[in-house]
Structure 1
Amino acid sequence: MTISTPTPPTRRMRSRVAVASFIGTTIEGYDFVLYGLAAATVFGPLFFAPADPLVGTMAAFATYAVGFIARPIGGLLGGHYGDRIGRKTVLVASLLLTGIATTAIGLLPTHDTAGWIAPALLLILRVAQGIGYGAEWAGAALMTVEHAAPGRRGLTSSATQIGPSAGMLLATAVLLGLESALPDAAYLAWGWRLPFLASILLVAVGLVVRLKIEDSASFKQVVQTQQVSRRPVLESLRTHPRQVALTTGLRIAQNAFYYVYTVFILTYLAQGGISRETGLQAILIASALGLVTVPFWGWVSDRIGRRRTYLFGGIFSILVALIAFPLLDTGSFVLIVLTVVLGMNIGHDAMYGPQAAFFSELFDTRVRFSGVSIGYQIGSVLGGGLAPLVATALLAAGGGSPFWVIAYFVAVGALTVVTTLLSPETSARDLDARQDACTVSEPEHTLVS
């Protein structure tokens, strides 16, 4: 039997895949961030109705964390089928699952009308969101990286990375607009539902785009040479355990800092008597800047290497954590915006920009989806999934003082810095080569052109 070599992607297909990944992760980001913002503002009184508002917020954040706990399930399912039947099929399924779950949240009864059934249904839909999102990111990242031209994987794959920023921008803008346009009573009664219901329209747009893309030449080559793994999840854990551990450690701080600046900050500012609108406006500005800064840091990683870029982001994030809360306590709009921009657009984005390429380059094609998904989603649970809940609990335990919150974020930042130092440089790696990326030594000076 003659095995033909798959045709390398054309420039048009590369562009189409980048756009499809961007639109898909924008929708997923919109859905997921929308839940986080609602958990910080309205889900407590609507679905849990406790006497203590802080307890209600913690209960809402607990359901938020459940979505992150469900992510590894989605990552395992997405990895298994993505490595066996293709990235495209999984991406379409993940988009449908998350979009339908988000739309259904907008139709839920509240605690006042349904009692305990309301938070139970919210929890179920949150799990569905988490499973869908767990399968989404790795597939979108792999599609852009595997289609990208050599030497441009960091920049090209940033199309996947700016999707969540665009989704956050959209979700924040919608909520900010509704909160400004509607009286508090109307917003709590029905206004909060509108952004969730609108998700179904976004999903329709995403499906049209995703159905027009193809799997990468790298994956097609694995299929044609009959090298498809029968159990890619188990194989990735058996043959790439160090890479899985590295992606987990690299993910933790980046994801934790993301959610402290986009979710927990709203609770912290509200405790200090600062309006939600101020926090949402700061997030809006940082999200808009992220559309530029994320690709910039992806491009930087193509020039100087993934490892150096990521290390800078981790160290800078720790430094910002030390000064962030005193700056927030001033109540100054300018200083609040400055804090979020420093934390998000410099510290966080220097890690997030090259992340899709960095993680993908660590694994072989036959188990890439599974390996990246496992490490990424475990890191998401330990990082962003627990961050708002842990930070809120530490804030309460400290009597409103942010001391222990700062200590927590310095600790997770230090973990990622150490992990980065233990990671190899991968930017010059041949994605189709059957090799252990952790044993490949590539001189860093060759990465600069």
Structure 2
Amino acid sequence: MQPSRTPTRQPSPETRQLRRVALSGLLGTAVEFYDFLVYGTVAALVFGELFFPEADPAVGTVAAFGTFAAGYVARPLGGILFGHFGDRVGRKSMMLLTMVLMGCGSFLIGLLPTYDTIGVWAPVLLVALRVVQGVAIGGEWGGATLMVVEHAERTQGSRRGLWSGFTQLGAPLGSVLSAGVVTLVSALPDDQFRSWGWRVPFLLSVVLLAVGLFVRLKVAESPLFAEARHEPPARPPVVEVLRRPKPVLLAAGVGIGAFTAQSLLTGFMISYAVDHGGYSRPQVLTAVTAASCAALLVLPAASALSDRVGRRPVVLAGAIASAALAFPVLALVDSGSPGLLVLALVLGHGLAQSTMYGPLGALFTEMFGTRVRYTGASLGYQAATLVGAGFSPLIASGLLASSGSGGTPVALLLCAGAAITALTVWRLRETRADALESPASRTTTLEGSPR
């Protein structure tokens, strides 16, 4: 007699679809962040001299990061635009459109003539394409995150943080990809890197775009949106959201610390460590890559932990860690030791920043109702990136150029961002136990006092 075999339990169709959506969110967001972060990395290395050659070197760096900020200014506009159609037409179609815009904008940056070839049109076109990137990524995160969390609500409602963490992983994964590619091309001789090597990471976007679109075409529309689409809000979603702006303002405040740390300890840190710390480009890019690899471990752990203890305690712990580590991190960077540079970025970005950032996907989704969720979550998230990530490199560059006081201004900015996040978390109500409501429910879910 043959021993009986226990039949293998097959996942339900809903679970299989959730896994596909989570993979789509991870890969798609990684592609988007790769495109966006490649710009920040290359801007720190060569854009000042290639597109603003008549400026003083310090002013050239500020001008290069000014175009970086232009992308962030456009992000809230993208959140409004794609949020409107995402709440009216559907999440999936907007996810596909944002990816195409992002990939094409990045590819065209790789083809741009420099200032020596077409004069002032070079920086003008650079800023224009950067704005296209900003508009695209302004709508990307909201669609990808909402798709995952709204699918998870039906089968894994108590683990929304864990599943949203897959989309959040796109940021460090995109950073690893961008830093890895730029590290390879920056190893070229300086003349080759400045003439054509810097273009390679942008041109590779076509390959990543093809992979992302292939995955996203296979996912199904959000089931919550499918139910809600027959009862759209009476007013445009942005009007509905801004009639009660408190949730958007709270979301923006919560995210400022994470995005300030992300921007200062990745793109800006490359310029700072090379110019002020005496490191080589490969040394700094290696440290950024190591920090992003650490984030790949810390971020999902923080996301999953928020399902158990709540979103607020995890984000608050990350903010406190970011403030406490700010001055030690900059001291390690200023030491001139490549090993201590790696340790600094792993602590500041891989640990503290990732702890703040991990729960944001689930938290922002839970703060808004289905009918306006795409618009509300996108506006809050992109407003945080505008304030926290868009202008912090510009402010840091200006302070360093005027004061020459080492890493103190950078550390103070990190502390300021963390303080804003901590104070805002104190005003939040815990949302991890809230159900994502039916179509006829409220447009926001943050009424009431913190608990």
TM category (shorter chain) comes to: over 0.9
How far apart in 2 are the matches of 1:193 and 1:345?
28
Correspondence for 1:175: 182
Correspondence for 1:266: 270
Measured after TM superposition, the shift of residue 51 of structure 1 is 5.0
- The answer to whether the 8 Å contact 2:333/2:340 transfers is yes
Measured after TM superposition, the shift of residue 439 of structure 1 is 3.4
Correspondence for 2:432: 427
Correspondence for 1:42: 46
Aligned residues: percent identity? 44
Correspondence for 1:211: 217
Measured after TM superposition, the shift of residue 331 of structure 1 is 1.0
Residues 81-92 of structure 1 aligned to structure 2 (within 5 Å) = 81-92=85-96
Measured after TM superposition, the shift of residue 9 of structure 1 is 6.6
How far apart in 2 are the matches of 1:229 and 1:191?
52
Cα distance 1:442–1:409, how it changes in 2: closer, same or farther (>3 A)? Answer: closer
Other structure's SS at 2:139 match: helix
Residues 213-232 of structure 1 aligned to structure 2 (within 5 Å) = 213-224=219-230, 226-232=231-237
How far apart in 1 are the matches of 2:419 and 2:449?
24
How far apart in 1 are the matches of 2:265 and 2:417?
15
Correspondence for 2:258: 254
Correspondence for 1:184: 190
TM-score by length of 2: 0.93
Measured after TM superposition, the shift of residue 61 of structure 1 is 0.3
Measured after TM superposition, the shift of residue 248 of structure 1 is 0.6
Measured after TM superposition, the shift of residue 141 of structure 1 is 0.7
Measured after TM superposition, the shift of residue 69 of structure 1 is 0.3
Correspondence for 1:437: 445
- The answer to whether the 8 Å contact 1:255/1:384 transfers is yes
1:407 partner amino acid: L
Residues 292-331 of structure 1 aligned to structure 2 (within 5 Å) = 292-331=297-336
Correspondence for 2:3: none
Mind listing any 5+ residue stretches in structure 2 that lack a counterpart?
1-11
What is the RMSD computed on CA atoms of the aligned residues?
1.5
Aligned length: 433
Correspondence for 2:8: none
How far apart in 1 are the matches of 2:402 and 2:264?
17
Measured after TM superposition, the shift of residue 253 of structure 1 is 1.1
Deviations 1:333-367 (A, max 9, x none): 22111111111122111111111000100111001
Task: Using the TM superposition, name which of 183-192 and 42-51 deviates more.
Answer: 42-51
Task: Using the TM superposition, name which of 396-405 and 348-357 deviates more.
Answer: 396-405
Other structure's SS at 2:431 match: coil
Measured after TM superposition, the shift of residue 57 of structure 1 is 1.1
Correspondence for 1:96: 100
- The answer to whether the 8 Å contact 1:425/1:441 transfers is no
- The answer to whether the 8 Å contact 1:306/1:425 transfers is yes
1:98 partner amino acid: M
Query: In the alignment, which of 68, 71, 78 is matched to residue 67 of structure 1?
Result: 71
- The answer to whether the 8 Å contact 1:295/1:353 transfers is yes
Residues 38-437 of structure 1 aligned to structure 2 (within 5 Å) = 38-50=42-54, 52-148=56-152, 149-180=156-187, 182-224=188-230, 226-239=231-244, 241-270=245-274, 271-432=276-437, 434-435=441-442, 436-437=444-445
Deviations 1:396-441 (A, max 9, x none): 1212433233222212211110001111111011001524522367
TM-score by length of 1: 0.94
- The answer to whether the 8 Å contact 2:318/2:356 transfers is yes
1:10 partner amino acid: E
